[in-house]
Amino acid sequence: MSELDLIITNVSAVLPGCDDPQVVDLGIKDGRFARIEAGLSHDLADRIVDGRGRTAFPGVVDAHQHWGIYNPLPEDALSESRAAAQGGVTTALSYMRTGQYYLNRGGDYASFFPEVLDLTEGRAVIDYAYHLAPMSRGHIEEIPALVAEHGVTSFKVFMFYGSHGLHGRSADQSSFLMTPEGERYDYAHFEFVMRGIQAAREKFPDIADQISLSLHCETAEIMTAYTQLVEEDGTLTGLPAYHASRPPHSEGLAVTIASYLAHETELPTINLLHLTSRKAVDAALRMADAFPHIDFRREVTVGHLLADCDTAHGVGGKVNPPLRPREDVEALWAYLIDGTIDWVVSDHACCKEEMKFGADRDDVFVAKSGFGGAEYLLAGMVTEGSRRGLSFGRIAELTATNPAARYGLGNTKGAIAVGLDADVALVDTSHTWTVRAAESESAQEYTPFEGTELTAKVTDTFVRGHQVMTDGVVGGQRVGRYLRRPTA
């Protein structure tokens, strides 16, 4: 029996604590990194893979996806995990909740979540986990059981849902959220969610720092008023109109409210999701100064880094929060470079053309929100990050190490290091190519990134040593596993 199952040779690997890649061989045994050193003898392994001079990044831990939001969950688990593998993603954390979309029903998580797990088992080509949203009082009571029985350690609040709906015009809370009669999804509920999560942290002190709450920060009342103003005025159309209808100060106000509630409830582990603007990040930094005892983490998406509301390819770029003008894109990059942002995600939500667009394809206010993008995550970060002086080591932290540590995956994911899962993305850092939706494994037929020129490309992806993409072609191996957190 050989000492190693696989050696990936002829690569420069992005290793923990190093800004620049190091020339090493990656020795893998039983799905984990066993030896990482230069000049490993090929006689040690059953199989040798020539990395052809590529840069080996740790497999991306994409901490924000939405499997099953618009398509049947088993279909998304297959097609969208394949798209994720194209982008070097080896672990996806998908948001899930009761209510319209997803499984389109209410009820308790004791019956709902096992069905989610059954529907995705054996379907994905990458590893996966779920964040859950407590939509009702009953869900709050279930939080300790979700932690203990299913290894769910991350939860979510959608701050605008109670009176604005998912796409901008629906305000019918009862039919959209499917909450029990007499309950409201409002600031009081958000407070009680925080208290429930803090109670769980106290019940499980050994893993308390890995039990957290993530928040989609937009303010329903501001968005409702501005949507009416924008539609009545009629001057703006398309994505610029949607940006104006959900202005950046709506994000900033929601960040402020969420932060004070975290202070009030003594919940220190708060993740501020997909911040899109200078105002949103400024509010987040002000709150960090005001409440230094809160361990805030700040997230941005690759979509808000690669596209803006004036140059994205059509209304297909509608997303919540919206794509912003170029000055906000540049502000986000500046915050990335100075260390303010903790991780980058895709917010991947496959929405096929027949569902995405309304009868008037150009009416942004009737289009559905969200689009895919995991397949461009690592290539986009290397392309734009390199232009702006972002080191490969920092890119690895933003796309893998930091989200893995926060969400209970740091024991097995997030870095190329002995003992961790052998999750690797090989990147050709000198390959120029043009984004075409037709070349994606996603079931989505369009992309707001259409025509974007990237100067790096993921060529090979390994999940626990299984080569799920070779020379740009995703294979048929469905090796993905559900990750019970914290992983051991």
Q: Which CATH superfamily is domain 59-411+431-455 in?
A: Metal-dependent hydrolases (3.20.20.140)
Kindly provide the residue ranges of all beta strands, DSSP E only, lying in 97-219, ordered along the sequence: 127-132, 154-158, 212-216
Q: Residue 119 burial by CB count (10 A; 0-12/13-18/19+): exposed, middle or buried?
A: middle
**427 DSSP β-pair partners:** 55, 458
**Binning pLDDT at 50, 70 and 90, where does residue 459 land?**
very high
Q: Where are the domains of the chain?
A: 4-50, 59-411+431-455
CA distances to 223, 226, 239, 244 from 230, rounded to whole Å, are 10, 6, 12, 7
N-term to C-term CA, the chain = 26
pLDDT tens-digit map of 153-199: 999 999 988 666 666 654 444 477 888 999 999 999 999 999 999 99
pLDDT tens-digit map of 365-379: 999 999 999 999 999
pLDDT tens-digit map of 244-282: 999 999 999 999 999 999 999 999 999 999 999 999 999
Does the structural domain 4-50 have CATH classification 2.30.40.10? yes
CA distances to 28, 136, 190 from 139, rounded to whole Å, are 41, 5, 12
Residue 354 pLDDT > 50, yes or no? Answer: yes
CA distance 167 to 368: 6
pTM higher than 0.95 for the full model?
A: yes
**Residue for token digits 């990134």?**
449
